[in-house]
Structure formats: structure tokens, C-alpha cells
Structure 1
Amino acid sequence: MSNVDIKRQAIRSHIAGLIARLENWVRDQKKFMDELQKYGDYISSQDRLSLLFSAQAMLYYIERTLKDFESWLNNPMITSIMPIEMLKELEERLRDIAIEFVKLDVDHTSKYVDILKKMESENEIPDILRLYIEQRGIVAQRSQQEEQGEFPRFM
């Protein structure tokens, strides 16, 4: 076997291994998606704390997938052979997902604002929120932050 044939065989072997790893990854991700969908039936009937923990776990799964995907797209050995049509489709779908995710954030935050407005108008501020504000001295901090033009989104 010539040196060229040995190199070709090594390249083919590496590509076959890459294909196998990617197929396993796709299979595992599909299995994970199925588990998440089945989990949705269970979690929808759970208490507030379970729903909160589940929402946090979903953000973790999104974050983990984003990091993996970003790493994938930062690898020139991967992206150098992607056809431009594949990249266009990817960019469009990711933009759609980004818009939907920001929309979810805006919708969720707006609903929360409505809840706070209703509580405030009915003078029914929960004790835990009132105590938090009083203990943190947020009233005094807020005046200073508003003057400086910097008030955080959360508390």
C-alpha cells in the first residue's frame, strides 16, 4: 500500500468516525427532545416550586445547546464545508428563534408588570416583596439610581 493510499484510508477512517459521532449525537438529541416532551405532560400538573425549577432547567438546556452550537459554528473544519444555502437557512432559523425568545421574554415581563400594577393599585403588595424592599433599602437606592440613569431590571 502506497503512502498516498495510507493517507486516503486514514482520512476516510476519520470521516467515518466523525459521521458515526454526529449520528450518535443526533440520535441522543432526538431522544432528549422526546424526554422533554414527555416531561411536559408531568410538569404541567406540578406546584409552583417545581414549575420554577423546571423553567430554570429549561434555560440551562437552552444555554447548554447554545454553547455547543456556538462551538460547532466556531470550528472552521466544520463551517468551511457548509454550503452557503445551509448557512442562510441556519441564520434565518436562528434569527426566528432569537425573535421568538425575545418575544417570550417581553411577553413574560409584561405580564409580570401587569401583576405588579394590579397589586399596587389594589394595595395588596405581598409581605415578602414589601419586606425585601424595606430590608434592602431599595427606596433610597432607587432615587440615586434614577438620578444617575441606571436602574436594574430586577429589584
Structure 2
Amino acid sequence: MSRHEMRFAGLWRAPLPPGAMYAKLADIEHYPGWWPAFRSVKRTGERECEIVIRSVLPYELTVRLTPLVDDPVERVLEAALEGDLTGNVRWRVKDDGGHGCVAAFTEHVSVRKAALRRWMPLARPFFHLNHAVAMRSGQRGVVAGVQHGFG
């Protein structure tokens, strides 16, 4: 792994049927309504969209997301990212033994934004923390939506 690459992984547990969680994650255009780190999503093609993301650190990331896998049977979503980050992101949603679902997340990216690349050697732990905060806010948004009847 180069000094500009980062890998992330995590699990979300939610009181949603797996198919409902899959549908929520597949509906990228509505992320800003429930996931605070997603500042905007704009459709740029038949399948592509431009996403602006910002968590707690004072920078925004703009990426073009292109779906690669959209499998509602296996409940797998995978997309390529290009822009301030280049790489891929993948979700796999499974049943959680009758208690809802678990959504497994993996991301492997290379930081392309020049200002962030300069800081990578020193700021890597802060970038991981920033990502963790963004992911927690997304999980809270999903659960809050379920609790308010929007799941």
C-alpha cells in the first residue's frame, strides 16, 4: 500500500430487513437526507453521480461515483470512485439472525487531492478518525429513520 492509499472497513447493524437496508444504500441520491457527511449528490450521467462529502475536518471531498455491482439478490453494491479520492467502495448486506441486518462496508482509496496528499504522513490517524465519525453519522441516520418510520 502506498503512502497515499487508505483502507476502511466496518459494520452497521440496524433494525431493518436486509432488503430494506440494501434499497436504502442503493438510493445514493437520497443520502444527504439521512447521512450528514454527504453534503450533496448530483446525477451526472445515466448511472454516475458527483458526490460532495465532508465530516468533521475542514475539507470537502468531491468524487464521481460509478456503480460497478448492483445485485439485489446477493445484496451487494460496489462502485468506483474518481476525483479527490480514487478507488472503490463496497457494501454487502446480510440478515442478522432475525434482529435486523448487518451491512459490511469496505473502501480502498488513494487520496488524489493535493492538499491532503501533502499531509498524509502526519494526518493519516486524523483521516481515519474523520472517516469513522462520518460512518457513525450514517449509521445513526439509518437507525433514526427506522425509528421515525422512514426505513
Ranked by relative contact order (alpha carbons within 8 Å, sequence separation 6 or more), the top structure is 2
TM-score when normalising by structure 2: 0.25
TM-score when normalising by structure 1: 0.25
Return the index of the structure with the highest Cα Rg: 1
